[in-house]
Structure 1
Amino acid sequence: MKRVFSCVVAASLALSLLVGCGASSTASSAASSAASSEAASSVASSAAETAALADGVYTAEFDTDSSMFHANEACDGKGTLTVENGQMTFHVSLASTHIVNLYLGKASDAADHEADWLQPTTDTVTYSDGTSEEVYGFDIPVTAVDTDFDLAILGTKGKWYDHVVSVRDAVEKAAEAETPADGTYTCDVTLEGGSGRAAVDSPAALTVADGKMTATIVWSSPNYDYMIVDGEKYLPTNTEGNSTFEIPVSALDTALDVTADTVAMSTPHEIEYTLTFDSASLKAND
């Protein structure tokens, strides 16, 4: 009888030990799961902090999963990212007016959330050949840069399509110098582009009237017969001596893209340059 009792006690102790191990394993698993969840939350929080940008205006790449849905070629695949009070909005000009609405999410959900459809703006883009076109653009709310998100598009045929996009490689735009008061000035100007053989007179004459700036550009050659600035063609203001033009200047301290056509070669040839006007060198004429 004592032997039977001893066996029962031993079995009870063994069962107790087994139950104890199971409880310990479950508690350990729960603790491990909690730790993993906390680590994941920490990583997500860190990623969000990394993606956050200071208030300001940036240029950024617009990456998509489709060659049919992209930034207009005149914009070189980029758009403008504005950060205000921590809220990010990305404006992109598209290739045409064939995409009429966007929706942040899946195409299957778009029809039930019409109030959330993004409405188009009408943007004017200028191509490298000087021609201009009106296309649709959109202001897209962005929660994080360098991160993929769902963006559905609605075409002119009334069908929604799923896409995955991202806003990447944000670079803050340099603050533009203020436009000087109306008057006449001289201002240092830097020419870049082409073969490097051409030059322009510096400083250049700069006139400000009604808040708009006009620069007199004198080339080192008499062989330029026109210039293109912001899609507009400008002819020389002189008939003798080195080619001279009066062109608009949108901002100081910012590279201005221009095209100049030269007849010095066997056939006329358009060459792309940039002109940068240095605000620090600005001097008012007496």
Structure 2
Amino acid sequence: MHKIDLLKKRIQKCCRRWEGRKRGMLAVAALICCLVVPWSLPAHVMAAAGYEDVAAGSDVASTQNVGKYGMTPLTADYLRDGSYEISVDSSSKFFRIKSAELTVKNGKMKAVIMIDSTSYEFVYMGSAEGAAKAPKSRYIEADVKNGRSYFTVPVSALDEPLNCAAFSSNTKKWYGRQILFDATTLPSGALTITLPDYNKIQDAVDAYDNGGDADSRGDNTAGTSEQQPSDPIYTSLDNGEYSIQVSMTGGSGRASIQSPAYLYVRKHHIYSKLTWSSSHYDYMIVGGRKYLNESNNGENSTFTIPVTAIDEPMIVKADTTALGDPVEIEYHLTFYENSIGDVDQIPQIAAKKVLAIALVVIIAGGILNYLIKRGKRQ
């Protein structure tokens, strides 16, 4: 009997050892799974390296709403299979979609959108924050042809704002956008239903908000630079170079121009040479006429333009590439007549004179030092 009890104890001891080893083996197996099975990790752990920055605050240009009042989302069920040209609205003027081809097949939609630049390396259908945390496999890479970028994107619905983040190849940041595929621009026969006239609906809403009918809202294009004079104003000043104080409003408020600025009088007409705080402006438009950047690459943009108004806002446009696609931005310049003064007031001219005086002083000091030493030797 004693031998049987002893045997039982040995068997129980072996079982306990086996249980301990089994738990240890299970722990090792779990660790191995965590190391070799990356899809079990949270999504943010798999974020693509080098694509974590999201533009925010002053880095984000002003946005606008997309779509028209009363639009209702349309899924693929409301379209016939086929490929169609379609217009796409964007919430950002820095992400303008020049053309798009929509393909509908088997209840799903996708589109090839074209941007007339190579400013964006990837797009991501979702928010900018989501793009920064997503694996690179979910990014939609640009197909670049002849300086244009093509992106093939899934389309969940037409006539509905869709989040679409774009990764800038210049700033290396994600920019949050919204795009809308406008079903009213589809060719006849693409839709299985008839859409309402959203333009009339929008006009009626605007008229109600303004307290009148649609025709009483006025011309929204009034005051654009194309309607402004393009010729320089007359002055009694003699021909020559002067300085003038100038202020600027418009745009995002980040750009500025140097003041005082050059003022040129040629045949009693006024021109100004403006220097921007940025090197990203490639042309300006005054009264419908284009003036090209005069600076060398890398230098702050400089333009010589006619002054078409004095002591009142003068509307111009300037084309910038600072945040992606080239875009024309409207600015208001005001030149102040009572500030016209000597050209020496311009910082560059004043700096050159200071340097010239300093150079004269240095040379004179050297000569004087030489004469003193020579006198001592004699």
TM-score by length of 1: 0.40
Which one has a bigger Cα radius of gyration? Answer: 2
TM-score by length of 2: 0.30
